[in-house]
Amino acid sequence: MTKKKLMEVRIIIRIGCLFKTILVFLIMIIAFVGIINSTWFIKLFYPTPYKEIVDEASRNFALDPYLIYAVIKVESKFDEKIQSPRGARGLMQIMPETGRWISRELDYQNFHEDMLFDPEHNIMIGSWYLSYLLKQFDGNIILALAAYNGGETNVKKWLANGTWSGTFNDLGDIPFKETRNYVYKVFIDYNTYKDLYGQK
């Protein structure tokens, strides 16, 4: 074999190897995209723990369980022992004074603020509060979520003085940045939960 022919063979082999490498890389990309777009993979980031408790709270307070899950995900990322710098506790981040008030409404005996670290008490108290806020705002989820984070009094004031229209499209008008971000995240997660778990 001449030197020229040998060089041509080497070039063909290199091109073949390069083509094979590119092909393997493309297959890996396609497989990766397929995995991250698959429902089971996305569900890893949208879990449904405490199912019996959430289902019971959903029935007791006429709430969509996926709304409860969305609130828990944004509030605590499912860390039942978490406490905020302001003192909110547990999965649904209930302030002790709020927990005390709602515990009287639920007829819980001997309430102690450490009960807010218990998933059952926390989810029941938080769900009651979410249901209460939905009633205060005629079933409007956006307003109820804003009140859950920013306070019922503040939301009513914003509506009364025209600061905010109370719609998702006008979230930017909410004076509190934390509340704006909170409502957006919970609402998006709520719809993602419904899509993932078959409730279109």
Q: CA geometry: angle at 16 spanning 15 and 18, to 5°?
A: 65
CA–CA separation, 141 and 133 (whole Å): 9
75 is catalytic: yes
Rounded to a whole number of angstroms, the CA Rg of the chain reads: 26
List alpha helices for the chain, DSSP H: 3-36, 39-43, 51-61, 65-76, 96-105, 119-136, 141-150, 152-160, 177-196
Catalytic residue among 8, 75, 80, 105: 75
Contact 149, 83 (CB under 8 A): no
**Which contiguous run of DSSP H or E holds residue 143?**
helix 141-150
Lookup: tokens for 73: 């995900």
- Please give the positions annotated as active site: 75
